[in-house]
Structure 1
Amino acid sequence: MRALLPLFLISAAAVGVEIALTRIFAVGSWSEYGYWVISIAMTGFAVSGVVMVLGRARFRDWAGWMLPALPLAMLVAGALGWVGVAANPFNPLELQNPATAGPQLWNILGYYGALFPFFFLAGLAVSLNFVVHAGQVGRVYGYDLLGAGAGAALALGLLCGLHPFWMIPALLPLLALAAGLSGRGGWRWAAVAVLIGGEAAALLLAAPKISEYKAIYAPLHVPDGQQRAEILAPGGVYQLLDNFTERLDTDVSNNAGMMGLPAPPRGYGLYRDGARIATLPMGPPESAHAPAALDAAPYALLTAPRVLVLGGEGGFRAAEALALGAAAVTVIEPEPVLRAALADGLGPSPAPPADPRVTLSDQHPLAPAEGYDLIDISGDFLAAREQNRHAYTAEAIAAWLARLPPGGMISIPVTIRELPAYALRLAATAVAALREAGVAEPGAHLAVLRSAWNLRLLIARDPIPPEAVARLADFAETRSFDLSYAPGFTAPSVWNDVPAVSLESEMVQSGGEAVDSVAQDIRALLEGTAAPSAFDRSPITADRPWLSPIVRFAALPLALARIEVLPQSEIGLLVNAAVLAQAAVLALIVMLLPLVARGALRVPARIMGRALVYFPALGLGFLMIEIVAIEQAALLLGDRTAGFSLVLTTMLVFSGAGAMLAGRVARPDRALGFAVLAVVLCCALGVAGLHAGVLAGLGLSWWARAGLVVVALAPLSFALGLPFPLGLDRFQRESPAMLPWAWSLNGAFSVLATPLATLLGHGFGLVPVLVAGMICYFLAGILWPRSPA
């Protein structure tokens, strides 16, 4: 235990720093660039395995001083790497402009140069432990996984009260402790000295900052503006700002003054990781502007409706609904900080005053909802929390339709400010939901109203009658909104110009009269005459619960050619594709290593062929299964951060326990067979009913749902932990060099797995990703060597 405890600490520090860096990218830049951190980390691990293969004998001879020296080298590399990351002038918006992209590509290489040494040294330390303790492969792998799980839990715990910019200095002592435990005497004094120097560099030389192009940057620098509150949590850094630019962000008619209605009120701006997620009131939420808002459209058709509001908008949405004639309002706010603000206030923003007509519910947004005439999704609901996207799926809409009373409807917003194509995909989802609900003519149940920036899609339980269409037309005409679609309605004019945006053509607008591309596209959708497009027009489903990115994978070359017209939400797809291409090159290099260094490996051809599939299959399969588990746990818990942390910790801990057992089994071939069978059966059960099981558990308490995640993942994770150490132990009997090479193969294909699984999930669905992970473990079972050396 003493010999492997430093490995536990090194793995904990490596994973903790990896999580910290992803949060740093989210706060200082944009979260999608956190994929680079994962790529750099796994690249470092993979390259370290290659180096260990080529110098295995020498590293083994040097192990006495390398084991304490490597964590100290990691400490120095981690501190200096953090200084380099903080000083990098990367600007992602310039990356989207071909004219300015060149310097940004060098800045990306700068991130690799700053972070690669740390993760390379971490991988070298792990692979050296495999070489030194070659007879205890299962125990070594178990300590590695358990350390990674502990590091993840520690990092997430620190994020509860520590700003991400301070995370790396907080994790460096783990490496000094690892060095002190690995060596004696002078090494312990060296560990103290290096820690002091590393902390000084990390704290004094690093000057992290928030990108000037993030939404929060300008409000932070407004004269007389100030930050009134800050909350630190694993899910984000929340900042409450007070300045004259902060107003309720709702789409109000330009005719509000002529209607005798005021502008939306001032408020406090609430930002998470630099993105604005809500306006909080300065006093009792004002609602006098509500009749002039686009969001008022469904209330023009309903009399004293009972309303279920998804997303409270800091209390403004309930006040608006009451002002528009709602008889009772139930508010569901899944975002934890916004929910706390509704219940108790936040900083100087008070909680909305108690009103017997308003109920704040703690139920899950997708839990069965009965007794409501209107299900009204607030304008900022989708942006407020990543898991809120599940409310936009065809299955969720169909379930709500089934519970609406006669005359009931659903009101769903979407922004068309940057891409009108989002409206078409939402309409396709509504059509699919209506058909799932048994509606033969979906077009008779839909209405679309919009401004130049935002759109409201109304989905009615019953066909919308002509008199209701007339009321909607009058509502739109009075406010200079556009009724883009309603049954039997032909728009006589267009108030707000929304030209089509296409990747196939460089022409965004031809000039002349105002255009309503939304109306054209929706009519083509309903008539089945929509032309092929680079944008995905398929419905949003439970298996593919993403409105964006909307660019089809096959259209990536077009997207790269016209990257300047794509909004920030679409860039994640391109980043994934870039990481995937890089990972594929790395994996190919590692796979070709035996041909370049055949003398160093000395692996028989028959065993090499099996290893070239066995270890990559495990690297791909483990992460594919993990990614699907994270997505489903996030849905069940209603929180991606909670789902990620619980799944990661559970899978690493129980996989580590399985790896510990691997070194003790008497019949490795039988143990592997049972493990592969367990993985295949668990994945098959997931394919058959995982989503249905998640939906069935939504009505339970949060702690009960969290317990379900652990109980469901524990046996699967235990089985996932067996094949890798069993394979290492068996394959190394053919050649001792198999240990670091197998570690390298697993790392290289783990780099590949994350972007590949993400792209497969967006393009084909989560079930195909789970099936792919199951097939990987099935292949590993088939390719297990039948006879040991």
Structure 2
Amino acid sequence: MISVDFERRAPIPFYLSVGLVAGSIIALQIAIMRVFSVGSWAHFGSLVVSLAMFGFGLTSAVMCVGKGWFERHWQGAVKTALLLFGPLMVGCNLIAQQVPFNAIFLISDPMQKWRLFANFVLYFLPFLAGALYLGIVFLKAQKTFNRVYFADMAGSGLCGLSVLLALYVFTPDNIIMAPLLLWMAGGVLWFVSMRDRRGIVALVVVALLTGLAHYVLPPALGIPTLAVSDYKGVAYARKFPDSKRTYERASPFGYMEIYSSSYLHFAPGLSDNAAFNLKKMPANAYLGLYLDSDGPQGIIKDLPEDEVAYFRYLPMYYPYVLKQKPDTFVVQFGGGISTAVALKEGSEHVTVAEGNPAILTAFREDKGLRAFTGDILNNPKVSVVDYDGRLYLAHTKNRYDVIDLSLADSAGLSSPGGFAIVEKYAYTREAMAAYMRALKPGGILSVTLWNKEEPPKSVLKLYATMAAAARDVDGADISKDFYVAAAYLSTATVLYKRGGFSADEIARLNEHTRAMSFDEIYYPGIRVDTTPLAQTLQDYRDQYFYAGPPPDPTAPKDDKAAPASGADEPHDKPPPELAQASDAPGTPPAPLVPATTMGRLAWHYLVHGGWQQVADDYVFDTHMLTNHQPYFAAYIKVKDLLKFLDRLELVQDEWGYLLIWATLGIATIFAFTLVLFPVIFGWRTIFSHNPGKFGTMIYFLCLGLGYITVEVGMISHFVLALSNATVSASVLITGMLVFSGLGSFVSERYFDRARRVMPRIFLAIFVLLAVYAFAIDYALDWIGTLPYLLRIALCLLLILPPAFLMGFPMPTAMTTLSRLGKEHMFLWAWGVNGCFSVIGAALVPIVATSFGLPAVVLVGAVAYLVALPAFFSVLKPLGGKRLAAA
């Protein structure tokens, strides 16, 4: 092995190696996210990646204290890190799949916490090896950090994009091969640059053995390559005796599977009366469509004429009670049930929108699926819009008799213990207003949502959202515009009519509702008794926070034999006694359950005023969805978080949101521990002689926090145009890293003028991000209507200006520390940046759900503004030594 002149002109293979190995680290993060999305739940993948990134923090802390040892043994350390990185990523992933962790039992089974911890440790190890490689490279090339940082950033970005393409090639159980191949290429180039032939041979042999182990060991040992939780939707389908997978496709738009089984009875919101009134129930009527193991989304077969009456017992039939031969628009195709209902109920034409190209490809190209559905997408009455329906309706001049958005989110909006933060732009206030404006006079918007929660949560958010949207379109009086029906623990359907419902139409809808044995929640003229409001709100709170009856003040204080009062344990107070039925005309029958009462009360106050006070007193957060806060999840109010800590078993479907708070706490503790570790153990020998320590920490803290919040926040924004979180993440990460890498490369030209140039850079970043925070949505809405490749190109162009400028601060400061002789501070600063990047990633969903996506970008903007004065601490010379940049 030869010595490379890192400070003057390192060979091209060296920079390519840095880019590819850094890219393999990014690719590994994406691969882990895919594995956890398919195998369990995405937020656990995010948590593992966040903790694994502390590999960078731990590496910098150790290298800062042991800098001398690493400088003497850097060649052996790099070689060891490289040779271990690939086997660790494959081996640890394979072992992690054998750890029987299940989020559902996180509270009830103490072993689950240890199994979750085992996942953390296993996924931490490969990142530690990758971080060690990059840390040593940065240490040796610190005088030319700008160039190395450019290779790091550009390589990471381009490799992230390559993983997007790899998702077409590798199924989730084999996606780990993408980072493995990048690592192998980067490792070979490293040894080429070192002219180490033995190293090349060793790495190639290790890579081949590692790949072979991934494919050979699981079948040989009878173990899964990717373990899917028993509580994921697809796990149930696979266990049906006659289950058969009829379709499979991997793509960036999700791992899509379709199963057939006689046990698969999707029947979304089907009235119980169907079984009594229909002469013949459709047999084997459904296929189950699963995306990333979640579902099913029901695919209904092409029913013969003697079975079409079945559709009338589904909630999406409601608009056809009033509309004959309508021109219909289906906002989201999904599994095609709404489209099938529209066609069978006499629609003259149906326009269908679907933002997931993988779904359209399956229904258009798979012969079995086309035969099962009657080739529904090639029906001459059907036109297809290959992007989000909400974007089409916001820009089209076409108007429709019926617009339908029904059950577009598989079996629910929030799986148990599942996705805490998922953008639902199709349900926002802006989207609903666009749907309403796209109706013809007298046209009907029908929105059907799963209503499986008691107390109700998502449906209350939907009600508030649609009421606000109607006021945006029609003004203050919306009393005649809505009709709402629901089935307990099944579905809720909201009908909005442009111009309001007539008395005859209300009578026809009520007749249908009663024939289906659904509950009438709201209709114009309904009379609602508001006296149960206070008791209903209190009883819902008592279900979670009731602490038992107050102690008897007359009871003996020293009676040790008396049973515990129960003050230390939560008690579920029973629901209120239900009122007797009223015979007053226009008054609905007595509710059967408190949820029905709550729904009626909600609509009464939404229509007639006073809803905000009701929402403030309600046990869960029910604020409306907007494009800035497009989340059905995160129902627990922040002020109640601590109250739920001793009763988590009562809110299992909120663990994803609670876990984000836990991640933030864990990240903060570990970050400060790793940041202060070198300070405590190296104060006398290292830090006491370095001026500007506190300012330097603030500077790199702000860079880490600011960059990651902008990056993650923009991913959520870009879903508006790209309609898919995985594609949005890949495109955004690629753009951010590549353009920031270019900024890093260009920043070297301005190094000698850093004192004058950098304040302007920081101010420009702040202004750009502040504008993007509130204005970018308008551009993305327009971009989302264009062909997909053009959308990607324009999104990349959109992120270029801020990302390019955000590439200046980090390399400028790191190079300054190196040239001033602050080599220990150089390593420490890198760790500070990494640790607070993880804090920023954990902070983003909390800020987004609490204050909105613009607030996330503004946090990043403010972080860069705070970094401006802190930059001058970085410029402070060491012991009188002064740099030109200072």
**TM-score higher than 0.5 here?**
yes
Q: In the alignment, which residue of structure 1 is the partner of 2:533?
A: none
Q: In the alignment, which residue of structure 1 is the partner of 2:567?
A: none
SS in 2 for 1:783: helix
1: CA distance between counterparts of 2:617 and 2:746? Answer: 54
For residue 584 of structure 1, the aligned residue among 652, 655, 668 is 668
2:21 and 2:187 in contact (8 A); partners too: no
SS in 1 for 2:684: helix
1: CA distance between counterparts of 2:32 and 2:64? Answer: 29
Q: In the alignment, which residue of structure 2 is the partner of 1:610?
A: 695
For residue 510 of structure 1, the aligned residue among 566, 570, 575 is 575
1:312 and 1:378 in contact (8 A); partners too: no
Q: In the alignment, which residue of structure 2 is the partner of 1:235?
A: 253
Matched, 1:652 2:737: yes
Alignment of 1:315-354 (within 5 A): 315-345=336-366, 347-350=368-371, 351-352=375-376, 354=378
Q: In the alignment, which residue of structure 2 is the partner of 1:365?
A: 389
For residue 290 of structure 2, the aligned residue among 243, 256, 271 is 271
2:287 and 2:299 in contact (8 A); partners too: yes
Matched, 1:378 2:414: no
1:634 and 1:643 in contact (8 A); partners too: yes
2: CA distance between counterparts of 1:775 and 1:615? Answer: 14
AA aligned opposite 1:696? W
Q: In the alignment, which residue of structure 1 is the partner of 2:467?
A: 431
Give 1:284 deviation, angstroms.
6.1
1: CA distance between counterparts of 2:574 and 2:443? Answer: 38
Name structure 2 gaps, 5 residues minimum. 1-11, 219-223, 414-420, 530-535, 547-570, 579-591
Matched, 1:23 2:40: no
Deviation per CA, 1:30-52: give whole Å up to 9, x if none. 12211123212321111111111
Q: In the alignment, which residue of structure 2 is the partner of 1:575?
A: 659
Give 1:525 deviation, angstroms.
4.5
Q: In the alignment, which residue of structure 1 is the partner of 2:842?
A: 755
Q: In the alignment, which residue of structure 1 is the partner of 2:200?
A: 188
2: CA distance between counterparts of 1:37 and 1:83? Answer: 15
SS in 1 for 2:480: helix
2: CA distance between counterparts of 1:338 and 1:280? Answer: 11
Deviation per CA, 1:488-511: give whole Å up to 9, x if none. 22489xxxx999685445537538
Q: In the alignment, which residue of structure 1 is the partner of 2:554?
A: none
Compare 117-126 and 750-759 and name the one that shifted more: 117-126
For residue 484 of structure 2, the aligned residue among 448, 466, 469 is 448
Shift of the 313–630 alpha-carbon distance from structure 1 to 2, 3 Å rule, reads closer
2: CA distance between counterparts of 1:644 and 1:37? Answer: 17
2: CA distance between counterparts of 1:115 and 1:353? Answer: 43
2: CA distance between counterparts of 1:672 and 1:353? Answer: 56
Shift of the 671–71 alpha-carbon distance from structure 1 to 2, 3 Å rule, reads farther
Shift of the 361–171 alpha-carbon distance from structure 1 to 2, 3 Å rule, reads closer
2: CA distance between counterparts of 1:660 and 1:380? Answer: 46
2: CA distance between counterparts of 1:335 and 1:307? Answer: 20
2: CA distance between counterparts of 1:188 and 1:326? Answer: 66
Q: In the alignment, which residue of structure 2 is the partner of 1:85?
A: 96
1:628 and 1:766 in contact (8 A); partners too: yes
2:485 and 2:494 in contact (8 A); partners too: yes
Deviation per CA, 1:210-241: give whole Å up to 9, x if none. 11221111221222321122101123221111
1: CA distance between counterparts of 2:312 and 2:574? Answer: 32
SS in 2 for 1:549: coil
Compare 581-590 and 199-208 and name the one that shifted more: 199-208
2:332 and 2:352 in contact (8 A); partners too: yes
The structure with more radius of gyration: 2
Give 1:354 deviation, angstroms.
4.5
- TM-score using structure 2 length: 0.83
1:387 and 1:634 in contact (8 A); partners too: no
Alignment of 1:307-706 (within 5 A): 307-345=328-366, 347-350=368-371, 351-352=375-376, 354-366=378-390, 367=392, 368=394, 369=396, 370-381=398-409, 389-419=424-454, 420-452=456-488, 453-490=490-527, 503-505=544-546, 506-507=571-572, 509-510=574-575, 514-515=592-593, 516=596, 517-526=598-607, 527-528=609-610, 529-530=613-614, 532-566=617-651, 568=653, 570-593=654-677, 594-602=679-687, 604=689, 606-665=691-750, 666-706=752-792
1: CA distance between counterparts of 2:504 and 2:811? Answer: 70
Q: In the alignment, which residue of structure 2 is the partner of 1:141?
A: 149
1: CA distance between counterparts of 2:67 and 2:576? Answer: 68
Deviation per CA, 1:435-484: give whole Å up to 9, x if none. 22242123432221011211011223223333332222211111100011
1: CA distance between counterparts of 2:241 and 2:235? Answer: 13
Name structure 1 gaps, 5 residues minimum. none
Instruction: Give the alignment's Cα RMSD to 1 decimal.
Output: 2.7
Give 1:711 deviation, angstroms.
1.2
1:314 and 1:341 in contact (8 A); partners too: no
Alignment of 1:49-64 (within 5 A): 49-64=60-75
Matched, 1:246 2:331: no
AA aligned opposite 1:310? V
AA aligned opposite 1:414? L
Count of residues in Structure 1 that have an aligned counterpart in Structure 2: 781
Q: In the alignment, which residue of structure 2 is the partner of 1:203?
A: 215
2: CA distance between counterparts of 1:80 and 1:540? Answer: 43
Q: In the alignment, which residue of structure 2 is the partner of 1:109?
A: 117
Shift of the 441–163 alpha-carbon distance from structure 1 to 2, 3 Å rule, reads same
Compare 497-506 and 350-359 and name the one that shifted more: 497-506
Shift of the 82–482 alpha-carbon distance from structure 1 to 2, 3 Å rule, reads same
Compare 15-24 and 201-210 and name the one that shifted more: 201-210
2: CA distance between counterparts of 1:153 and 1:356? Answer: 38
Matched, 1:746 2:833: yes
AA aligned opposite 1:393? T
Shift of the 613–701 alpha-carbon distance from structure 1 to 2, 3 Å rule, reads same
2:450 and 2:492 in contact (8 A); partners too: yes
Q: In the alignment, which residue of structure 1 is the partner of 2:48?
A: 37
Give 1:109 deviation, angstroms.
1.0
2: CA distance between counterparts of 1:523 and 1:744? Answer: 55
Give 1:258 deviation, angstroms.
4.2
Shift of the 353–160 alpha-carbon distance from structure 1 to 2, 3 Å rule, reads closer
Q: In the alignment, which residue of structure 2 is the partner of 1:717?
A: 803
Shift of the 352–545 alpha-carbon distance from structure 1 to 2, 3 Å rule, reads same
SS in 2 for 1:230: strand
SS in 2 for 1:447: strand
Deviation per CA, 1:293-315: give whole Å up to 9, x if none. 12222222334332211223444
2: CA distance between counterparts of 1:262 and 1:751? Answer: 57
AA aligned opposite 1:231? R
Shift of the 215–691 alpha-carbon distance from structure 1 to 2, 3 Å rule, reads same
Q: Percent identity?
A: 26
Deviation per CA, 1:172-206: give whole Å up to 9, x if none. 34434444433513322322333344334433445
Deviation per CA, 1:337-369: give whole Å up to 9, x if none. 322244334644432275443322235322234
Shift of the 511–486 alpha-carbon distance from structure 1 to 2, 3 Å rule, reads same
AA aligned opposite 1:51? V
2: CA distance between counterparts of 1:46 and 1:589? Answer: 10
2:278 and 2:310 in contact (8 A); partners too: no
